[in-house]
Amino acid sequence: MINVAIMGHGVVGSGTAEILINHPGRIEKATHTAVNVKYILDLREFPGLSYSDKFVKDFNIILNDESVRVVAEVMGGINPAYDFVKKCLEKGKSVVTSNKELVAAKGAELLKIAAENNANFLFEASVGGGIPVLRPIAQCLAANEITEIFGILNGTTNYILNKMIVENMDFDSALALAQEKGFAEKNPAADIEGHDACRKICILAALAFGKHVYPEQVETEGITDITLDDVEYADSFGCTVKLIGHAKKLENGKITATVRPTLVSRDCILSGVNGVFNAINVRGDETGDVMFYGKGAGKEATASAVVADMIDCVKHLDTRKYVFWEDGSADYVDNSCDEPTRLFVLLRGDNYDELVAEFDSAFPGVSCVKNKFKNEIAFLTDGEKPSVTLEKLSRLKNIKSRKILNTMI
């Protein structure tokens, strides 16, 4: 029998405990040994649960019990999670986590500590909830050089955008509905400002390209400025609006890493990913494009991924799973590349006729959507370098405001 512990009994922690405790036969069949949840760490009281005798409030009880071989960290946040995980690994205990914030900030360091102490540090649940994506990248696609990863990494923002597109809801109403249904937190900033997707693209890029990517290196923009006008203009160009996380290997050995609202062509499979679903495209030099799709969050889905990692750790108590990447550097991520691409541009002016005249002069022959009532022009660039587009826009004198979005066309 192998003893394990769970740190945290929130949504994911309770789901993890329920799977392990309620399905012992299923777990034993997978591990070929009994797995016993010996401790659950939480400062709160949970009277009435069938396993209430397992709760402890002192982390050191778990740390100093040599019979506990595998620990699941499902508390979230950096502190005290980082300190607890680090100490467990230093004691030779394998750790699994769903904590994307922790892995994005401290992944390289914790993987190194795990290797030094012959322990495993696994985090499948940190990206995509129950979607198996990290293990396939590390194992099934190991014969490939991964050149690019992109996709819809946050279910909350995808749900909000879908409501705006399909039901013509404004952003605030769609957000309120997401909160009502439990898809968005009371404080939704991490989702709607792009931070959640940023942490996930950090982890994906680090695993795929072999070097740590820090959240502050990722050019991140959320969906708070997306309006129904943007959605309508996107539709007129045969596109839909999605929040896309993107990482790509450059020829100079560096990478780009971004999270941005993006106009996605209806011909692209990502345009049909709706609701709280995620979809992650991994591009390998041998396989081409491989897509991973499913619900990216939720108690059961995320707990399933946590337990799967715990099973993996139990099966490899005396051997290490090779999951590793080097620490990154300040100049590793370069988002200044100026490759030709199509951009969506929305211009607003005070004088419609002057706006149209300046646009026609700067962008001759470029088709556009004109709105005289709102003094607006929306268009897609022809695939020139962004620097060229920006230089043309700088010459326009009658622009009150402008919005520029990336496209996948």
Length of the chain (residues)? 409
- DSSP assignment letter at 383: S
The predicted structure's pLDDT at residue 322 = 79
Instruction: Name the residue with tokens 């999270």.
Output: 259
The predicted structure's pLDDT at residue 65 = 98
C-alpha closest to that of 14 among 52, 69, 57: 52
For residue 77, what are the contacts with CB-CB under 8 A and spacing of at least 6? 99, 101, 102
Judge residue 402's burial from the number of C-beta atoms within 10 Å of its C-beta, 0-12 exposed, 13-18 middle, 19 or more buried.
middle
Asked about 200 being catalytic, the answer comes back as yes
The predicted structure's pLDDT at residue 297 = 78
The predicted structure's pLDDT at residue 90 = 98
CB atoms within 10 A of CB 364: 7
The predicted structure's pLDDT at residue 239 = 98
Q: Looking at 211-287, which runs of residues are DSSP E strands?
A: 219-220, 239-249, 255-265, 277-284
> What is the helix (H) or strand (E) element at residue 307, kind and residue range?
helix 299-315
The residue annotated as part of the active site, out of 54, 87, 163, 200, is 200
Output the pTM of the full model. 0.95
Return averaged pLDDT per consecutive 10 residues of the chain, 409 residues in all: 97 96 96 97 93 97 98 97 98 97 98 96 94 94 97 96 97 96 91 98 97 98 97 97 98 96 97 96 97 89 95 92 90 92 96 95 95 95 95 92 95
Cis check for the bond before 80: say yes or no (omega within 30 of 0): yes
How do residues 265-309 score in pLDDT, each as one tens digit? 999 999 999 999 999 999 999 999 999 999 887 889 999 999 999
Q: Tell me the C-alpha to C-alpha distance, in Å, between residue 169 and each of 153, 160, 162, 163, 227.
A: 22, 9, 9, 6, 10
At residue 74, what is the residue type? V
At residue 289, what is the residue type? D
C-alpha 6 chain-centroid distance? 24
Q: Are 149 and 208 in contact (CB under 8 A)?
A: yes
Percentages (nearest 5) of helix, strand, coil residues in the chain: 40, 25, 35
Q: Are 205 and 185 in contact (CB under 8 A)?
A: no
Q: Tell me the C-alpha to C-alpha distance, in Å, between residue 95 and each of 99, 185, 287, 353, 356.
A: 11, 27, 31, 64, 60
Which residues are paired to 368 by β-bridges? Answer: 379
Delineate the domains of the chain, giving CATH numbers in brackets. 2-130+300-315 (3.40.50.720), 134-294 (3.30.360.10), 343-408 (3.30.70)
The predicted structure's pLDDT at residue 228 = 97
Q: Looking at 48-144, which runs of residues are DSSP E strands?
A: 55-56, 68-73, 94-97, 121-122
